[in-house]
A and B are shown apart, each in its own frame.
Chain A
Amino acid sequence: MTHAPVIDIKNERRHVDDLTPALARRAGFTGVLVLVVGAILGYVFGADHFAEQFLRSYLASYCFFLSLALGGLFFVLLQHLTYAGWSVVVRRLAEVVACAMPLMAILALPIVMAVLLGWKYPFSWANADVVAHDALIQKKQAYLNAPFFLLRTIIYFAVWIRLASYFHAKSVEQDTTGDVELTRRMAKVSAPGMLLFAVTITLFSFDYIMSLDPHWFSTIFGVYFFAGSAVGIFAVLIIMAYLLQREGRLENVITTEHYHDVGKFMFAFIVFWAYIAFSQYMLIWYANIPEETEWYHVRQTGGWERVSLALLFGHFFIPFLALISRHPKRRKNWLVAGAVWILLMHWIDIYWLTIPAAHDGAEPHASLHLLDATCLIGLGGLFVWSVAGRLAHQSLIPERDPRLAESLAFENQ
């Protein structure tokens, strides 16, 4: 079908064993160090409010990195579900990002512990005193209670770890066996996998983010969180491909065409995110019922209105206009700059979801806390440790995937 020059992957550098182990060690060490030093500083200077502030900051950064891993899982599931050929050369990267799931399961411990201990933060519904004075939370106790929360968390991570490791392991197995049957099996698993993914990511967003404000509810919330996760993974894929190529890996394998396509996906999900965000906003704005508007009220006061506007423009209008043309999507430097910007916006989005809700009583004020930064760097270091560590000891592309040739020769018309 095609007339692009045939690329022989044998001539490509497609391993990073010489680079990433050292990077992983450094990132992991830095992450733990910053997390611990930040915690000590926070404890010394914050004293009374330390645990509260730490858990809030921790939850925000945790949800950010988990959303990236979830996005990776979504990307892999989607490619198998649709028999996608174009994406084969970048699929291994997404598989590896999804494999951060066991780390994310361990990192959930502080949050789960706070719930089990019945602390008032980050989730006020976990605290018996709060519940005793709150008729609404009492009615929601059947769902919002510590043992069930723990059980759900276990189920989420069981599903995610199983799916992520399944697709990664089968894909790596195919590198040696070249068995086409594996591709068929992965396609079969991806359909129920996608259904499980949809249910678990929705309920996770309800449990870990929406229940920060236990009176408030929005049925579209899971889709909103998912849209952000998808935007995040496309940005991550672009940045990863760029960094690898800068180190001389996969130089001819990942072409402008692939950047263009991932860029198109990123653009599409930016629009999807805005669509969902507005759908949620408009219904609440129109109905104007206090029990629903309170969530937006705290995000339109005390400095948060600036963050909200920053999201409206930074997460939608600016990237929409910047990426709508095909030219920026086909210029690597522009696209990478856009991806970095989008990733930053995605973090602000998650921050905006988690932090204002976590203040009970007093009107929250938008101000960056030291612990916000240390948790971001700390968890980021650990996340990089997981991803970079996983990248080693295997090829950066699914070498014997039956659709590899199609992907290598892929062209946008």
Chain B
Amino acid sequence: MSDPVAATVAAPHEGTEATPEPRELFGLLVEFKHEDDLLAACRRVRDAGFSKWDAHSPYPVHGIDAAIGIRPTILPWIVFAGGFAGMLGGLLLQWWTNTVDYAWVVSGKPYFSLPANIPIIFEMTILFAAFGAVFGMLALNGLPKLYHAAFHSRRFRRVTDDRFFICIEAADPRFREAETRALLESLAGDAVERIEERGHTDPPKLIMHVGLVAACLALLPLALAARAWYSKSTLPRIHPILNMDQQEKFKAQRAHPLFADGRAMRPPVEGTVARADLHLLGEDDHYYYGKIDGEWATTLPQRLRADVPGLLERGRERFAIFCAPCHGMDGSGNGPVRLRSDELGMPLVVKAMHEDAVRERQLGHLFNIISNGINTMPPYGDQVPVRDRWAIVSYVRALQRSQLATTADLSEEQRAERQRRRSGND
């Protein structure tokens, strides 16, 4: 293949010194100064029945499609197919990952719930429709096109500026040089020009070799990735973004040169205790651990006894937030999490507050269970402050008591009322 720029420079106008190889006729080119002339000429050429020809202009010309006789494009169908494929792909991808590959309950919703998937489906639809539009357009137009025989013409350069051209190719079945030239000359254009090009030649050897090497090199990253994927390494991982992975900060259990003893973690100041560590003082194990002299406490800590109704009210509220999801509002063990787990076929074991085993536990023991968890129940010590844990424990006692009421618990009036109703029923 010859260099098109060099070929243009050596175009027929410049002189015809030595074209060693035989040249083939590519087609006939005719130039126009005005858009309207181009449109009129296009209609003539179209009506003459040519099929391998094209019009060239510096900008899109209104009505040129009809003048050339271009049939409606199938691009919309490609875009539609792309969008449809994207939609289906997005749907299947999410269905498969959410239900087959990695089934995971998110906020109590079904594995496959369409509303959550719509945004991804939407984006995938748009993306693939856009791919269809761009790549479909390029493919239908035969782009990118780096070489065109008309580049050999010097005057054709003005097609990017202020001239319009029609080029009829010699490969057209209706092309007869003399007749076609006569047709073109009858149009309102300027001189008709023969476009010649060298016949088909193999690309230069150098380009072939460079291309081969580049193709081989292009496989290297893939090969490296494949090796990394299928092999194990004992080396520490590579940190591509150093300032994020290795920050200049104090980390627990590490050395740090800033301090004399070289430790990043600082011990508390001599003779002080952090507020969060008050329990370590051992001054009120009853309050912090639910223990008195190593035994589970059976009473409320002294400091909470001032406002027991307030404590119970607080306990009722906290219980509804932290405990009721599993244990149920009434402590019977039928909370929504438990019900949902039954529904999903993987039942949780949830204790009812009213079982004897739970009722007989000491107050301090119950406190400890909330703090540290038991069996499958996780610890809540980090989420619920000490005072609230006692409030919940107190409320649990109230819940347990509520299921064991006797007539002795009723007031005088209530008892009288009950008596009256009974006799009424008899």
Residues of A within 8 A of B (CB): 1-3, 278, 281-282, 285-286, 288, 324-326, 411, 413
A29 to B63, CA, bound (A): 50
Q: Which residue of chain A has the shortest Cβ distance to B108 in the bound complex?
A: A288
Q: Which residues of A contact B62 (CB under 8 A)?
A: 1-3, 411, 413
Q: Which residues of B contact A326 (CB under 8 A)?
A: 76
Docked-complex contact A285 and B39, CB < 8 angstroms: no
Min CB distance B319 to A, Å, is 19
Min CB distance B408 to A, Å, is 38
The yes or no answer to B116 lying at the interface (CB within 8 A) is yes
Docked-complex contact A2 and B115, CB < 8 angstroms: no
Residues 108 to 153 of chain B near chain A (Cβ within 8 Å): 108, 115-116, 118-119
The yes or no answer to B231 lying at the interface (CB within 8 A) is no
CB-defined A-B contacts under 8 Å, sample of 15: A3-B39, A3-B62, A3-B63, A278-B118, A282-B115, A282-B118, A286-B107, A286-B115, A286-B116, A288-B108, A324-B80, A326-B76, A411-B63, A413-B60, A413-B65
Given A3-B39, A325-B76: A282 touches B116 (CB 8 Å cut-off): yes
| Interface 0/1 of B331-362, CB less than 8 Å to A | 00000000000000000000000000000000
Q: Which residues of A contact B76 (CB under 8 A)?
A: 325-326
Tell me how many residue pairs across A and B have CB atoms closer than 8 Å.
27
Residue of B62, B65, B80 with most chain A CB atoms under a 10 A cut-off: B62
> Contact partner of A288 among B39, B107, B118, CB < 8 A?
B107
Residue of B60, B107, B115, B116 with most chain A CB atoms under a 10 A cut-off: B115
A2 to B65, CA, bound (A): 13
Given A3-B39, A325-B76: A285 touches B115 (CB 8 Å cut-off): yes
Q: Which residue of chain A has the shortest Cβ distance to B36 in the bound complex?
A: A3
Number of interface residues of B (CB under 8 A): 13
A285 to B114, CA, bound (A): 11
Docked-complex contact A2 and B63, CB < 8 angstroms: yes
A1 to B60, CA, bound (A): 11
A286 to B115, CA, bound (A): 8
Q: Which residues of A contact B39 (CB under 8 A)?
A: 3
Min CB distance A9 to B, Å, is 22
Q: Which residue of chain B has the shortest Cβ distance to A288 in the bound complex?
A: B107
| Interface 0/1 of B12-47, CB less than 8 Å to A | 000000000000000000000000000100000000
Q: Which residues of A contact B108 (CB under 8 A)?
A: 288
Q: Which residues of A contact B107 (CB under 8 A)?
A: 286, 288
A118 to B116, CA, bound (A): 42
Q: Which residue of chain A has the shortest Cβ distance to B35 in the bound complex?
A: A1
Q: Which residues of A contact B116 (CB under 8 A)?
A: 282, 286
Q: Which residues of A contact B119 (CB under 8 A)?
A: 282
Q: Which residues of B contact A324 (CB under 8 A)?
A: 80
| Interface 0/1 of B46-86, CB less than 8 Å to A | 00000000000000101101000000000010001000000
Q: Which residues of A contact B60 (CB under 8 A)?
A: 413
Q: Which residue of chain B has the shortest Cβ distance to A287 in the bound complex?
A: B107
Q: Which residues of B contact A3 (CB under 8 A)?
A: 39, 62-63
Min CB distance A327 to B, Å, is 10
Q: Which residue of chain A has the shortest Cβ distance to B39 in the bound complex?
A: A3
Q: Which residues of B contact A285 (CB under 8 A)?
A: 115
A413 to B39, CA, bound (A): 16
Min CB distance A405 to B, Å, is 14
Min CB distance B419 to A, Å, is 37
| Interface 0/1 of B138-173, CB less than 8 Å to A | 000000000000000000000000000000000000
Min CB distance B248 to A, Å, is 39
Q: Which residue of chain B has the shortest Cβ distance to A285 in the bound complex?
A: B115
Q: Which residues of B contact A281 (CB under 8 A)?
A: 115
A3 to B66, CA, bound (A): 11
Min CB distance B261 to A, Å, is 50
